[in-house]
Structure 1
Amino acid sequence: MRLSFGILTVLLAGVSISASTGGPYKRQNATSPPGYAVLEPPLTTDWTYKVGTNPWPEYPRPLLERLDWKNLNGVWQYRNASNGDITSPPFGTDLGKPVLVPFCLESGLSGVKADYAVWSWYRTVFDVPSSWTKGNRVLLNFGAVDYHATVWVNQRQVGSNVGGYWSFTIDITDALTTNGTNELIVHVYDPTDYFDDVQIPIGKQTVRPSHIFYTPCSGIWQTVWLESAPANYITDLVVNADMHGNVNVTATSSGNASIPVEVTVYETNSTDVKFTATGRTNSQFKFRVEDIEMWAPSTPVLYNIAVKMGNDIIKSYTGFRTISRAVIDGVQRPLLNGEFMFQFGTLDQGYWPDGLYTPPSREAMEYDLNTLKNIGYNMLRKHIKVEPALFYQSCDRLGLLVFQDMPSLRTQVPIPVNQDCKFKPVINTSVTDEFGRQLEILIKQHRSYPSIVTWIIYNEGWGQQVEDYPSGFPEFNFTNIVRNLDPTRLVNAVTGWHDHGASDFHDNHHYPDSQCGTPWYSIESTPHDPSRIAIQGEFGGIGLNVSEEHLWIVPKSVSEINQTYELDDNQQIWNYRAHFLLNELKEQIDVFGFCSGAIWTQTTDVEGEVNGMLTYDRRILRPNLTVWHNDLQAIYDVAHAKGNRTIMMERDMTFDVL
């Protein structure tokens, strides 16, 4: 394929550096009280010194929101711990160092910038608002703690949780004092990949950062809050609504009894009631809402919902849309609301130079999402990380489809398997079972967000059983588990390689050019499988180095920039190469006709990677927006022409959720 001189001229002449608005790049920490201070990270963003000491003030769980709540984010106390210290909690003790919750201990925003935070203590004190209803239960909620959290209130152990990406709730009512002041202690054990024989879901975290593997996140990294709930309260709410107005609801109560529950759906952007339905807790009930507007990237219409069970009243929302799979002119296609839509997005790592796993604010987080929409993407792949609930609400509101990865196990654990000391991952029954347990939590906690359209189980064989054992390949069983938990979405069991034929997708990874549904493939992948949906799970990855003020200034990371898949000489050439690769993808869609989606690497630079739409500090936008708009629209147009013809349903997706 050759580019015309006119297009090349536009590429070379029309590129400019775009920066987000904001103050100076560094310093200015005047809002912090004595004791706590941001420890300047290797790179800042425009939001670093705007965080203050009351971060993330928003209600953190938008699908199950209660009126009476109290945010516990802010300055707590921290102390490094050692193995075995959990037997001697530091009750009534000043831990000596301030830490800003909810930021990873390794981050600058935490005020700690810890190294090897394997064992840690947190401490704070709180009171319960006197205005809360007497006789109600007081619930302590954690958005996420990496990795194993054990919690005490007033010297009583009240609960624990294993898994670094999952929210959990503890009823602490019986541990509260009568004088109003309560002590909260949290012990965190986070091995990441520090120990050779530990194999847990960590995504791209490592205690030895190296190019595509990044600084770990230990400790409390999502919002902590209290709320008041009646003695029998709603513990879980599953809502799925399809394109025809059918709604499926399951409200789970803290008690075992089946009691009445009422669901009210409101008109869009209104307090006017659209529909009211009744059912019972702990079992599914269905109803139909007429004259609905469907949710889609171009029309992200959401409907607010109120759910009443006894004295417990919560707020939620939903979007009406149907995800399915069909054969169109002999080609497997993913459908949204009965039509094929080419799904094109970025590999979204969700890392921040100042907060690591935790964005400095909701405004900062949404800056990334708005940038993707402005470029012309309609999707993102949330890459082996799980975000705070408000991230998915923002995708719901903006109309960004989400491919959600399960955070992967580590890629290699150094155990010699022969005299050459080659290494292989530790994969055994207990590791696989724990991975499966946490995979189920991922589905259960996120299956009501309209924007999520596909679940991804394994990435490029990381922690995957790739040899043929008598028990079979686990991804087949995991695919069935995911479908049983959530039959409303598609499943991508294996993205990249080691594909044994499970699930709805055949997914190719190749850098920098695509191989999407083509009659050629690289050694890591497998030939195109026409019985499944063809998608380019990763491609692009072209890099552009920048000046020091926009780089993660860690010597090892800087020295590894040349490991980027391709480095381009300047921003004009970067855009020229992107234009070339996007047109190559368009031709593959047009000529061979199988490709149904693609994921470009990536949203932002991360540490030593310099191949993002944005630099790591979010201050430079690389794409020439005019050219990228045109190229992406050309891809959507040719895909639409190929894929919106006679539809024969192969697998009828149901909206029943167990």
Structure 2
Amino acid sequence: MQLLRSIVFSLLAATSVAVPRGDDSRHQAIQPRSANAKYALKEPPLTTPWTDKVGTDPWPEYPRPQMQRSQWQNLNGIWQYRNASSLAEAQNPPFGQDLGQEVLIPSCLESGISGIQGNYHLYSWFSNSFKVPANWNGQQILLNFGAVDYEATVFVNGKQAGFNRGGYFRFTVDVTQFVKPGQQNELLVFVHDPTDSEDYVIPIGKQTHHPSHIFYTPCSGIWQTVWLEAAPANYITQLDLDANMNGQVNVTVHTSAANTTTNVQVIVHDNGDVVATHRGPSNQPFQFNVESPKLWSPDSPKLYNVTVKMGKDQVQSYTGFRTISKGTVNGVVRPLLNGEFIFMFGTLDQGFWPDGIYLPPTKEAMVYDLKMLKNLGFNTVRKHIKVEPQLFYQACDELGLLVIQDMPSLRPLQSRRLSDCTTQTILPDAAQQVEFGRQLEVLVNQHKSFPSIATWVVYNEGWGQITSYYPEFELTDRVKQLDPTRLVDSTTGWFDHGAGDFSDNHHYANPQCGSPFYSTDSSPYDDTRIGLQGEFGGLGNNVSIEHLWNVQAAINTINQTYELDQTIEIWNYRSHIMLAELEDQVKRFSCSGGIWTQTTDVEGEVNGLMTYDRRLARVDEAQWKADIQALYDAAAARGNATMSTH
């Protein structure tokens, strides 16, 4: 197999948003006890250019960019780890004990970066210790987790302090009553991550204990940043910001004293200059206006810094002025950005890494993928049945990439064998469906202030979607009630019963976008909704072993790729044909956007713009830029007309 030449991209510089850096005591915060097995990076089946840059001080950036406090300590670094045997162990915590192994936090236990790189981590213990700075005395001490997969029980100094369920979402534990000022405090976390074991039906996306082709190595444990911060007795718990094209800023400041109302001050800055100041009540929505704002778009991703003050609490945030809607243009229902038809073209972005699995090795690595897409001319990224660290969405805000955000799927495409020897598709029961709906709400509430997010996706290709009735209608209504400022793609591909804003077709390899033809595994175009090619392409090109996930079971599935092109030249030729066909459908029919599969290879899939290690780019850069621009030009020719908004 030939070794393909690498194409080096010129990367775009992101527009930065001023953020507080925190105090300098973060290194003193972590004082782990001695463990028998010292931390060492394990060699994964494939590395990236950033694998060796991880070190033992990973992800030092403030992890919650839209609600930042100045007094904080990053607890990332070397912790202790021990495997547990059952859920019952949570009732007998190993307080004051050496857990035996060192592990890097944040990380997936299945990754080389973790120093563990194991399998079937159903139950796990993690421990560390921290000391609270003296100048935090008298304040609330908040312990934050970016994400723990899947259930986390948190203990501080021998007492249970909190519990969280959901592997993709941040949570905060107020540990004030458990902390000993001026002393080392023991932090112990029990994690239960069933993934797709036994009868568990939970949001897992593409994680599986049995990786094969389009389903991948799972992620267990504390896989996003852990940090402490100080706040007053009544503190801000969530900040909802939406700024539209007319200059209206919609704000809700949620607080720990949820049943009281406190005066809140919001200050909007543009390059250090105050452009608006407004006061309103906490725990209630309020609005104010900014005159003649510069609008956010992929072509001009303008952001404004925002300061929110409430009593003794103060947080830093940012927003972008833009309006996402739909309307009829020349008789076709279209997605609109700031009142104009925008052709949304992006990639299926899986967010997997050979060295970190679910977590990129560094922020630089994560942003590299996004800059590559932006450089080629993509204006959209579909975050595929996964939720990223919040710094990912900040990078999309800064670069100008619209985000189609999927809800992670429930246990996709699996079946169980019944006692009568028949098989049954695994779907959620009533309680599991309720939990899916709850976590969908958490997804929306935690991410609805990022300007780049344009669309929420409820179901992907029927995975975990009940078909005896149509839950997508109720879930779509719920999402729109939580966030009326965005579009909802209720079912991307497969079982479309008419819910939501999109008529979304998946077809490999060629597109069927807003067209009068379709395949039986999808649905016909519904002209009352936006025509979207939610997935297409998937063209494969095998590479030499140094760029492959070096696991034989994965290599054995490469021939399951939709189409394999024998040379890089043929891969680009076939890509050009697919993009030209999509362009023709934009000109002739009602196509309003497309999602190319995919950003990178993943394990046994070799259909990425780049290989899994990000060292080899398949794309002919000039050709791809021209083909993508042709899509935008074709859409513009269809969109220069009067319109009516919906």
Give the counterpart of 2:158 among 150, 155, 164: 155
In 2, distance between residues paired with 1:487 and 1:108?
41
Structure 2 counterpart of 1:642, one-letter code: R
Give the counterpart of 1:231 among 230, 233, 252: 233
- 1:540-559 paired onto structure 2 within 5 Å: 540-559=537-556
Summarize deviations over 1:445-482 as a string: whole Å, max 9, x none.
00000000000000000000123x4xxx1000000000
Give the counterpart of 1:603 among 587, 599, 602: 599
Structure 2 counterpart of 1:100, one-letter code: L
The offset of 1:17, in angstroms, is: 2.3
Structure 1 counterpart of 2:446, one-letter code: Q
- Equivalent residue, structure 1, for 2:268: 265
Summarize deviations over 1:30-78 as a string: whole Å, max 9, x none.
xxx9921111100000100111000000000010000000000000000
- Equivalent residue, structure 2, for 1:46: 49
Structure 1 counterpart of 2:96, one-letter code: G
Cα contact 2:133–2:182 (8 A) shared by 1: no
- Equivalent residue, structure 2, for 1:216: 218
In 2, distance between residues paired with 1:127 and 1:114?
31
Summarize deviations over 1:487-540 as a string: whole Å, max 9, x none.
000000000111000000000000000000111111111111101100000000
The offset of 1:421, in angstroms, is: 2.3
Cα contact 1:143–1:388 (8 A) shared by 2: yes
- Equivalent residue, structure 2, for 1:64: 67
- 1:82-101 paired onto structure 2 within 5 Å: 82-83=85-86, 84-101=88-105
Summarize deviations over 1:354-400 as a string: whole Å, max 9, x none.
00000000000000000000111000100000000000000000000
Pair 1:171-2:158 in alignment: no
Pair 1:137-2:140 in alignment: yes
Number of residues of Structure 1 aligned to a counterpart in Structure 2: 616
Cα contact 2:326–2:336 (8 A) shared by 1: yes
In 2, distance between residues paired with 1:149 and 1:644?
52
Pair 1:626-2:629 in alignment: no
Pair 1:486-2:480 in alignment: no
In 2, distance between residues paired with 1:417 and 1:526?
31
Cα contact 1:417–1:424 (8 A) shared by 2: no
Summarize deviations over 1:166-218 as a string: whole Å, max 9, x none.
100000011011342000000000000021x1100000000000000000000
Cα contact 2:132–2:182 (8 A) shared by 1: no
Structure 2 counterpart of 1:88, one-letter code: N
Specify every segment of 5 or more residues in structure 1 that has no aligned partner in the other structure, as ranges.
1-14, 22-32, 651-658
In 2, distance between residues paired with 1:582 and 1:178?
62
- Equivalent residue, structure 1, for 2:429: 428
In 2, distance between residues paired with 1:266 and 1:587?
44
- Equivalent residue, structure 2, for 1:474: 471
In 2, distance between residues paired with 1:92 and 1:616?
41
- Equivalent residue, structure 2, for 1:203: 205
In 1, distance between residues paired with 2:49 and 2:5?
20
In 1, distance between residues paired with 2:302 and 2:314?
23
Give the counterpart of 1:119 among 123, 126, 148: 123
Cα contact 1:322–1:336 (8 A) shared by 2: yes
Do the aligned partners of residues 115 and 67 (structure 1) sit closer, same or farther apart at CA in structure 2, a change above 3 Å counting? same
In 2, distance between residues paired with 1:51 and 1:20?
23
Structure 2 counterpart of 1:185, one-letter code: L
In 2, distance between residues paired with 1:369 and 1:604?
11
The offset of 1:645, in angstroms, is: 1.1
Summarize deviations over 1:275-322 as a string: whole Å, max 9, x none.
100001000110000021000001000000000000001000000000
- Equivalent residue, structure 2, for 1:639: 635
Pair 1:296-2:297 in alignment: yes
In 1, distance between residues paired with 2:5 and 2:330?
43
- 1:55-454 paired onto structure 2 within 5 Å: 55-83=58-86, 84-132=88-136, 134-195=137-198, 197-255=199-257, 256-267=259-270, 270-416=271-417, 421-454=422-455
Do the aligned partners of residues 454 and 396 (structure 1) sit closer, same or farther apart at CA in structure 2, a change above 3 Å counting? same
Q: TM-score, normalised by structure 1?
A: 0.92
Runs of 4+ with >4 A deviation: 417-420
Structure 1 counterpart of 2:426, one-letter code: P
Cα contact 1:339–1:644 (8 A) shared by 2: no
In 2, distance between residues paired with 1:500 and 1:319?
34
In 2, distance between residues paired with 1:349 and 1:244?
34
Specify every segment of 5 or more residues in structure 2 that has no aligned partner in the other structure, as ranges.
11-34
Q: Secondary structure at the match of 1:634?
A: helix
Q: Secondary structure at the match of 2:417?
A: coil
Cα contact 1:412–1:423 (8 A) shared by 2: no
In 2, distance between residues paired with 1:318 and 1:412?
39
Q: Secondary structure at the match of 1:637?
A: helix
Cα contact 2:132–2:181 (8 A) shared by 1: no
- Equivalent residue, structure 2, for 1:521: 518
Pair 1:503-2:500 in alignment: yes
Cα contact 1:16–1:624 (8 A) shared by 2: no
In 2, distance between residues paired with 1:644 and 1:314?
42
Structure 1 counterpart of 2:606, one-letter code: V
Cα contact 1:537–1:598 (8 A) shared by 2: yes
In 2, distance between residues paired with 1:416 and 1:103?
34
In 1, distance between residues paired with 2:326 and 2:246?
17
In 2, distance between residues paired with 1:543 and 1:448?
36
Cα contact 1:101–1:110 (8 A) shared by 2: yes
Cα contact 2:69–2:229 (8 A) shared by 1: yes
Structure 2 counterpart of 1:144, one-letter code: A
The offset of 1:419, in angstroms, is: 5.0
Cα contact 1:404–1:454 (8 A) shared by 2: yes
In 1, distance between residues paired with 2:225 and 2:205?
20
The offset of 1:417, in angstroms, is: 5.6
Cα contact 2:5–2:616 (8 A) shared by 1: no
Pair 1:572-2:569 in alignment: yes
In 1, distance between residues paired with 2:588 and 2:272?
50
The offset of 1:411, in angstroms, is: 1.8
The offset of 1:105, in angstroms, is: 0.5
Pair 1:17-2:6 in alignment: yes
Cα contact 2:9–2:375 (8 A) shared by 1: no
Structure 2 counterpart of 1:203, one-letter code: G
Q: Secondary structure at the match of 1:628?
A: helix
The offset of 1:415, in angstroms, is: 2.7
- Equivalent residue, structure 2, for 1:561: 558
Do the aligned partners of residues 581 and 20 (structure 1) sit closer, same or farther apart at CA in structure 2, a change above 3 Å counting? closer
The offset of 1:413, in angstroms, is: 4.2
In 2, distance between residues paired with 1:47 and 1:637?
37
In 2, distance between residues paired with 1:618 and 1:382?
18
